[in-house]
Amino acid sequence: MNHRFRSTPSRYGIRLVALALVTAATGCGPSVKVRRMDNAENIDLSGRWNETDSRLVAEEMIADTLSRPWLANATRKTGNPPTVIVGQVHNESMEHIDCQAFVEDLQRSLINSGRVEFVASALERGDVRAERYDQDTNASEATRKAQGEEQGADFVLSGSIRSNVDRVGGESVVAYQVNLKLLDVQSNKIVWNGSKKIKKNISRAGAGF
Higher pLDDT among residues 33 and 28, named by residue: 33
pLDDT at residue 209 tops 50: no
pLDDT at residue 30 tops 60: yes
Please check whether residue 63 lies inside any domain of the structure.
yes
Alpha-carbon distance values, 129 to 80, 107, 146 (Å): 25, 20, 10
Domain that holds residue 183: 51-139+150-203
Please check whether residue 37 lies inside any domain of the structure.
no
2 φ, ψ (degrees, to nearest 5): -95, 135
What H or E segment, with its residue span, contains residue 107? helix 99-113
Q: How many domains, in total, are found in the chain?
A: 1
pLDDT per residue as tens digits for the range 6-29: 555 566 566 665 666 655 555 555
| C-beta of residue 49 within 8 angstroms of C-beta of residue 97 | yes
Q: What percent of the chain is modeled with pLDDT above 70? A: 78
Q: Report the half-sphere exposure of 99 (CA within 13 A, side-chain side).
A: 18
Please check whether residue 102 lies inside any domain of the structure.
yes
Residue 165 maps to which CATH number? Answer: 3.40.50
pLDDT at residue 200 tops 50: yes
Please check whether residue 188 lies inside any domain of the structure.
yes
Mean pLDDT calculated for residue range 182-199: 96
User: What pLDDT does residue 60 have?
Assistant: 97
Contacts 24+ apart (CB under 8 A), 55-63: 55/105, 57/102, 57/105, 57/178, 57/196, 57/198, 58/102, 58/105, 58/106, 58/108, 58/109, 59/105, 59/109, 60/196, 61/106, 61/178, 61/180, 61/194, 61/196, 62/106, 62/109, 62/110, 62/113, 63/109
Q: What is the dihedral of CA 75, 78, 79, 84, to 10 degrees?
A: -50
What H or E segment, with its residue span, contains residue 18? helix 11-28
Task: Report the mean per-residue pLDDT for the chain.
Answer: 84
Please check whether residue 91 lies inside any domain of the structure.
yes
Please check whether residue 167 lies inside any domain of the structure.
yes
**Rounded CA gap, 107 and 157, in Å?**
10
Please check whether residue 28 lies inside any domain of the structure.
no
Q: Across-strand partners of 108?
A: none
Q: How confident is the model at residue 208 (pLDDT cuts 50, 70, 90)?
A: very low
| C-beta of residue 170 within 8 angstroms of C-beta of residue 205 | yes
Cβ burial 16-34 (10 Å sphere, 16+ → b, else e): eeeeeeeeeeeeeeeeeee
Mean pLDDT calculated for residue range 185-189: 96
pLDDT at residue 39 tops 70: no
Please check whether residue 22 lies inside any domain of the structure.
no
Mean pLDDT calculated for residue range 165-193: 92
pLDDT per residue as tens digits for the range 99-151: 999 999 999 999 999 999 998 887 788 888 899 989 999 999 999 998 888 88
